[in-house]
Chain A
């Protein structure tokens, strides 16, 4: 089956620093990738839709300047948490769809971000 690789799996950083998370589709091209945020024992909240070659579409309440998304190629999307603060600590998950209308998303293994 299709594989989505997410890196790093966990990261600890100091408050005020920026952290970049990568999401790669290893064996398929993904024109669209999705970024989610998950708090412990809670559901996934969609943050933004990443579109290859164009600007990301952010959900209401998600700060564009805080969570920078770059989808520069058909196999790579990155999420950069800028000037991270402790309240940004969370589990971030990406997903990708292999082609249009496949109706199934494949998820990365997630990134646990801890901001001290």
Chain B
């Protein structure tokens, strides 16, 4: 069965420091991986995706993610965090039937 895991409920980081939000996946075949961000009482906004090609994917708002096949991971990163990056982040994998399977979500808290 396909699944996504985000091992951290919350990540705290100081503004200006690099941030990492972890994601691991389990899927048969080639994975289609996504990161979405959700602000309070809002829908999800697309950040980036990995389908094929370079393992380092660059996305919106300065975020990037690294696809690591051997570790089955797709961690979200940003070199310098902003307070406005504070939100709920979801990793997702697309199933064979087209459905998005979401991780549990990780709350990112960036403190000034």
Of all chain A residues, which has the CB nearest B60? A1
Contact partner of B100 (CB less than 8 A), chosen from A105, A109, A110, A112, is A105
Decide: B44 and A42 in contact? CB cutoff 8 A.
no
Interface of A is mostly: strand
Decide: A44 and B107 in contact? CB cutoff 8 A.
no
CB-CB under 8 A from B32, the residues of chain A are: 103
Decide: B43 and A34 in contact? CB cutoff 8 A.
no
- Classify chain B: how many residues form its interface, as a range: 20 to 34
Binding site for B on A (CB under 8 A): 4, 6, 9, 32, 34, 41-44, 46, 49, 91, 93, 95, 97, 103-110, 112
Decide: A107 and B43 in contact? CB cutoff 8 A.
yes
Binding site for A on B (CB under 8 A): 32, 34, 36, 41-46, 49, 51, 88, 90, 94, 98-105, 107
CB-CB under 8 A from B103, the residues of chain A are: 43
CB-CB under 8 A from A9, the residues of chain B are: 41
* A4, A34, A41: most-surrounded residue (chain B CB, <10 A): A41
Contact partner of B51 (CB less than 8 A), chosen from A6, A34, A103, A106, is A103
Report the Cα distance A46→B94, complex, angstroms: 12
Report the Cα distance A23→B30, complex, angstroms: 31
Decide: B105 and A93 in contact? CB cutoff 8 A.
no
A-B contact pairs, 17 of them (CB 8 A): A4-B43, A32-B98, A41-B88, A43-B90, A44-B44, A49-B98, A49-B99, A91-B41, A93-B44, A95-B43, A95-B100, A103-B94, A104-B46, A106-B46, A107-B43, A109-B42, A110-B41
Assuming the A-B contacts A109-B43, A110-B41, A110-B42, are A44 and B51 also in contact, with contact meaning beta carbons closer than 8 angstroms in the complex?
A: no
